[in-house]
Amino acid sequence: MTTALVPQQPSQWIAAETDTQFIDLFLRQKRSHHTRRAYAQAIAQFLQLTGQRSLSTIMLDDLLNYADWLDINGYTKSSQALKLSTVKSLLAFGQETGYLRFNVGAACKAPIPENKLAERILSEEDALRVLHAPKSQRDKAILRLLYSGGLRVSELCSLQWRHVQPRDDGGQISVYGKGQKTRIVPISKATFQTLTVLKPVDAQPDEYIFASQRAKRLTANGVYRIVRKAGQRCGIPNLSPHWLRHAHASHALERGANVAVVRDTLGHSSLAITNRYLHARPSDSSAFYLAV
């Protein structure tokens, strides 16, 4: 039989007197609007299932019940992992800051989703077909940057003309990306020329490179629509911008690029993340050594 922990006084290390204030502080750490929204939804869902009890009374049973509820209600393994990891992160933050005495989430293991990376990597032939699918120069430049630069959608949408500079025969772009880190990505002559063709004569340094008819800055949803349309023209349904980033990593490694170079170009936090592409498309297999 489990017993609830005795609620403690709010920590002096963190300016939160209620769970609502504490959760708000936790969410404010996340810079991405999409991440904050996803985390807030998962936490609200979990607390609703517990009857809106105080965080200090949460037990391991509550997390296990939440895990069972997610599975029973048909959430994918990746969604289950994300939601449980969110609650576990909240409870860990509570202990780290002294707001909670214990981190009961440490004993709960989130499910490991199936690795579908290999299914999302385009062949070089398909990638090139996608790049040439759009009719407008702007859309072609968007697809080319997603692939040749390995950019995330948010990074592409944030590009301004001051971020693009000539370099040798090509150019380079300054990318402000995930984790609030800036990286310099050299680009080929062809990619650089694709961008310079779009640049208005009177373009200002802080002007966004990619705009829409309604706004000065293209949205992530707008990029998704452009990529999806290009994929449909090439017979590749459900194509997303991240598939082009996956393709960049895989194709560069297959052509002999150093794994550390690919890591730095894509802005991965560790080599382990980049190495996933080597495992997704291995060049050798023990199956080749059999007689069949």
Catalytic residues: 152, 178, 242, 245, 268, 277
SS (H, E, C) 87-131: HHHHHHHHHHCCCCCCCHHHHCCCCCCCCCHHHHCCCHHHHHHHH
Amino acid type, 16 = A
Asked if residue 280 lies in contact with residue 117, where contact means CB atoms within 8 angstroms, the answer is yes
Separation between Cα atoms, residue 175 and residue 159, nearest integer Å = 7
DSSP state of 208: B
Please name the residue that has the structure tokens 């989130």. 110
Separation between Cα atoms, residue 291 and residue 281, nearest integer Å = 22
Tokens of 149: 């630069």
CA distances from 282 to 117, 212, 263 (A): 12, 40, 18
Strands (E), 158-251: 164-167, 170-177, 181-187
- The number of helices, as runs of H, and strands, as runs of E, in the chain is 12, 3
Query: How far is Cα of residue 253 from the mean position of the Cα atoms in its chain?
Result: 21
- For residues 136-151, one letter each, b for 16 or more C-beta atoms within 10 angstroms of the residue's C-beta and e for the rest, the string is eebbbbbbbbbbbbbb
Q: Helix, strand, or coil here: 170?
A: strand
Radius of gyration of the chain measured on its C-alpha atoms: 23
